[in-house]
Structure 1
Amino acid sequence: MNMEYLKVDGSDIAVVSSDEKIIVDVQSALDLAMSVRYETGASKIVISKTAVCEEFFILSTGIAGEILQKFMNYHVKTAIYGDYSKYTSKPLKDFIYESNHGHDFFFVATKEEAIQKLREMG
């Protein structure tokens, strides 16, 4: 796992990349958030969709909801970037839509969009 620290317009943002799955369950997501905060001081995380397990995108597993709740409880804002076009689930599309209209968790196409979205959240 690689972690890049950015300070953009006063926002501390960690950009995390990996060739392996980093988020595979709620505990691994929480471990990532705490590692980022400890190592960089950032409470905003940009992560590639490729580093997130596929079960996250199957809402019936409950993983996505639990992770979002934990991140909100710990005041961690996150943007996951990647291609979501292969997903046809209406509940997932609704979940992504609602998340993108909130203030804590975002699904975007590119790393640059992810950084911009988190920068806008102040």
Structure 2
Amino acid sequence: MSDVVRARHGVTVLMCSPTGAVIGDEQSAVDLIGTLWGQDVAWIVVPAQRLAEDFFRLRTRVAGAVVQKFQQYGFGVAVVGDISAYVERSTALRDFVYESNQGRQLWFVADEAELDERFAALAART
């Protein structure tokens, strides 16, 4: 399975495959962004298993660097999947996920159904 660009509730997204290259630093984020050249993608949807373990350890600053890189290029980011084990181990990560989910640029969602709800709500606001 490969990464696929498609529309969800009027939003063009890159749906990353769960089996693609691990995203674990700024360069891997840039590499993924490079595959989108010339496409009108607004959001990048990343399965949690595509993110390096260090992404979920905020003290490593990997999450900040990766998310910042995506946002510098104008993309919203949604992480899809069960990250409860990481959240249970880190109050800082729990707070980061909570605050991110209040905004409109970075979301952590459990599954694609929740993702669709978010995109539907986003479309309704615009």
Kept in 1: contact 2:4–2:14 (CA 8 A): yes
CA RMSD in angstroms, aligned pairs only: 1.9
> Does residue 25 in structure 1 map to residue 25 in structure 2?
yes
Q: Which structure 1 residue ranges, 4+ long, deviate > 3 Å from structure 2?
A: 118-122
Q: TM-score, normalised by structure 1?
A: 0.86
- Structure 1 residue runs of 5 or longer lacking an equivalent are none
| Alignment: residue pair count | 121
Change (3 A) 1:70 1:107: same
2:94 aligned partner: 93
Alpha-carbon distance in structure 1 between the residues aligned to 2:21 and 2:5: 20
Kept in 2: contact 1:26–1:66 (CA 8 A): yes
Q: How many percent identity over aligned positions?
A: 34
Q: TM-score, normalised by structure 2?
A: 0.83
CA-to-aligned-CA distance 1:73-105 (integer Å, 9 cap, x gap): 211101111111212200010011111111101
The amino acid of 1:43's aligned partner reads: A
Range with greater deviation from structure 2 (105-114 or 52-61): 105-114
Kept in 1: contact 2:9–2:119 (CA 8 A): no
How far residue 20 of structure 1 moved from its aligned partner, in angstroms, is 4.6
- Structure 2 residue runs of 5 or longer lacking an equivalent are none
Alpha-carbon distance in structure 2 between the residues aligned to 1:39 and 1:2: 18
